[in-house]
A = this chain, B = another copy of it.
């Protein structure tokens, strides 16, 4: 039996669907049942339940977007940096292999050599570079706290989307925002991400960091063009002239726009389809809210 923390969130719900698809017996634990942010509470719970595996999909994300983390800094730091450290301590003590949902947002741009960032590259959008949003800083600190962790998978998600309209879905956001920022990004089809997490555990892939983005990258303009080609949108989209204008007019925190290299995951056979295919499929099967 596996334990899922944070199962009620956007990523957590996708993980529940993936666990069900895979036929894995699991128990989704909410913080109101078991306050897993407290090390002693989590340890006592896991000692009594003795799960085979644990997945942490809990974390603090801003609503409606990452700007909210600039205000809710304490919760952001507690949920994204301290919590993974707490889970690590307990899981190492009880020898429970576990996976942590991290984020690709700890990178910006492309590697100076022009390629996407691999699992070996150190974050370049983080407190230590002093160029980041508070959310990205906390996520990077969270990964720091997991450096050298035993029996721990770190799964990097980046800009989730699915075919179901919703406030956390990247496609929905593009549909609703008045103006867009054109930038190149890697993306994660959320169900493929979740299937990859579950497959990573079941196939006993090596521990450590895994970039779980769909291979390739797209610009905002490309995605918007696809949306119009698929008939998902027929309006013209307006763009900010530059990231400077975007930051001045619409945003509080700098945004991570980055390309990740997910070839490690692809080589391991994790189910991540090329990003254009995954986007097209989501748009063709689109279910409006």
Contact = CB atoms under 8 A, between A and B. Distances in A.
A244 interface: no
A123 to B, nearest CB: 11
A225 to B, nearest CB: 39
Contact of A38 (B38, B74, B85): B38
A145 interface: yes
A86 interface: yes
Given A82-B82, A128-B130, A77 B77 contact: yes
Contact of A144 (B73, B85, B128): B73
Given A38-B38, A82-B82, A74 B145 contact: yes
Interface of A: 38, 73-74, 77-78, 81-82, 85-86, 88-89, 127-130, 137, 141, 144-145
A173 B243 CA distance: 52
Nearest to A77: B82
Most B-side CB within 10 Å, residue of A77, A81, A85, A129: A77
A77 B73 contact: no
Top-7 shortest CB links A-B:
A74-B85, A127-B127, A128-B130, A78-B82, A73-B145, A77-B82, A127-B128
A37 to B, nearest CB: 8
15 contacts: A74-B82, A74-B85, A74-B88, A77-B77, A77-B81, A77-B82, A77-B85, A78-B78, A78-B82, A127-B128, A127-B137, A127-B141, A128-B128, A128-B130, A130-B130
A52 B127 CA distance: 36
Nearest to A79: B82
Most B-side CB within 10 Å, residue of A82, A89, A129, A137: A82
A129 B131 CA distance: 11
